[in-house]
Structure 1
Amino acid sequence: MPNQDTMSPETLSFLRQRRSHPSVTMSSPGPDDDQIRDILTIAARVPDHGKLSPWRFVLYPSEQSETIGAWLAARCESLNGPLDYEQRQKELTRFQRAPRVIGVVSTAAEHPKIPIWEQQLSAGAVCMNLVTAAAASGYVSQWLTEWFAFDEEASRYLGAGENERFAGFVHIGTATQPPVERQRPDLAQLISNWTQAD
């Protein structure tokens, strides 16, 4: 039987209803520096085989969002050719959509005991904890990767080091509209009972 003293119906209800908000629908205010520190403290409480902390955070100052956007637009154009007005505006404003943007960098590396895959999973758990902590703090969030997470030159510009990669960018702000629920997976199609092979 579960320990009745540790059960929290409010927490379970919160987790059942948590969902992402599109970053383009966010506005100010975002969490202040003290709240960000608390959110990141919670984000870092994840399974971490070997206590390696194979991840780290990059905070992007809002006053630098235009500079970042201009660089991304130029890089996108160098990769794909001239951008039309709509695509250029999309690149220019990627880091302006939410008042706070946090990059989660996976620092997974070869280790004699801990597989890289386990280290990468830990970075994914950090991202999930981060969006959950942001929601519990009264904000909305969205965990995104987007093309620049997979482009080496863009990743370096945004703060990833050699042999590092972004697990994602978490956008945090205040909701401007109610969340729209999406269809969730049918668990009956995702659960199986193990049976021993013949």
Structure 2
Amino acid sequence: MDFLLSRRSRPAKLLSGPAPDRATLERILEAGGRVPDHGKLEPWRFVVLEGAALARVATAIRARGADTGQDGEKAAAAFEGAPVAIIVVGVPKESEKIPADEQVLSAGCAAFNVLTAALASGWGANWLTGWIARDPMLLRETFGLEGDEWIAGFIHIGTCETAVPERPRPDMDAVTRWVSE
């Protein structure tokens, strides 16, 4: 409980090497898969980017940003700084029983579990999206998505040596309603 109450993402621009090893990443991904998933549809999948793949993605983002007038520098920098990025891909499944919104929530939970597992393991991590998560050309050509797949998040993971200040949190009384009857 103490970890959850003090959980704090680390900005992607502060992440650097070393990276978690393969065994650690596999455990982080395993935690990512332990989410609510009504109907056991697995409406998500993971793509792990390391090494040269990160540089390739950063180059593609810069080029696409120049083509579209988007800020490609900031988005590309996140892929160049952190030594690992895990793409959480939403994979909608046909189901008569499980509505699409529950599948979206499951993909969001998978992204949050990957983020939380990385942080709980002592790594710096950040969950980002932005325009690159919605650009059709990047989705197909750079990230390899198919059909109606979509990006729930890019989880950047690495080492963070910088102390990160707390940010304002919600006033829980303002967002909570207690019902007794």
Q: Same fold (TM over 0.5)?
A: yes
Instruction: Name the structure 2 match of 1:114.
Output: 98
* Whole-Å separation in 1 of the counterparts to 2:116 and 2:179: 31
* Match of residue 104, structure 1, among 88, 111, 125: 88
Q: Percent identity?
A: 40
> 1-side partners of 2:145 and 2:38: how far apart?
22
Q: Give the SS at the match of 1:96.
A: helix
CA distance in 2, matches of 1:47, 1:63: 34
How do 1:57-76 and structure 2 match up within 5 A?
57-76=46-65
Q: How far did 1:74 drift?
A: 1.2
Asked if residue 174 in structure 1 is aligned to residue 159 in structure 2, the reply is yes
In the alignment, the residues of structure 1 paired with residue 160 and residue 83 of structure 2 have an alpha-carbon distance, to the nearest angstrom, of 11
Residue matched to 1:95: 79
Q: Name stretches of at least 5 consecutive residues in structure 2 with no aligned partner.
A: none
Q: Structure 1 residue 76: deviation in Å? A: 1.3
User: How far apart are the structure 1 equivalents of 2:152 and 2:72?
Assistant: 24
Distance 1:188 1:68, change over 3 A: same
Mapped to 2, the partners of 1:13 and 1:193 lie a distance apart of 24
Residues in 1 aligned to 2:151 and 2:144: alpha-carbon distance in whole angstroms: 9
Q: In 1, distance between residues paired with 2:133 and 2:92?
A: 15
1:57-95, CA deviations, whole angstroms, 9 ceiling, x for partnerless residues?
Answer: 0111222222221211111111128xxxxx554354331
1:45-64 map, 5 Å: 45-64=34-53
Moved runs in structure 1, 4+ residues, more than 4 A? Answer: none
Alpha-carbon RMSD across the aligned residues, in angstroms, is: 1.7
Secondary structure in structure 2 of the residue aligned to 1:90: helix
Q: 1:134 aligns with which of 110, 118, 121?
A: 118
The within-5 A match list for 1:1-12 is 12=1
Structure 1 residues 194 and 39: CA distance shift in structure 2, 3 A: same
Greater Cα radius of gyration, structure 1 or 2: 1
| TM-score, scaled relative to structure 1 | 0.85
Q: Contact 2:12–2:78 at 8 Å: present in 1 too?
A: no
Q: Distance in 2 between matches of 1:30 and 1:125?
A: 23
Change (3 A) 1:88 1:42: closer
CA contact (8 A) 1:57 1:103 kept: yes
Q: Residues 109-167 of structure 1, C-alpha deviation per residue, up to 9 Å, x if partnerless?
A: 33111000000000000111111110121101000002110111111121221100000
**Structure 1 pair 91–138 and aligned structure 2 pair: CA distance change class (3 A):** closer
Between the two proteins, the alignment pairs up a number of residues equal to: 180
Return the alpha-carbon distance in structure 2 between the equivalents of residues 45 and 176 of structure 1: 29
Q: Give TM-score scaled by structure 2 length.
A: 0.93
Residues 65 and 93 of structure 1 are in contact (CA less than 8 Å); yes or no, is this contact kept in structure 2? no
* Of 33-42 and 67-76, the range deviating more from structure 2: 67-76
- 1:66–1:93 contact (8 Å) kept in structure 2: no
SS of structure 2 residue aligned to 1:172: strand
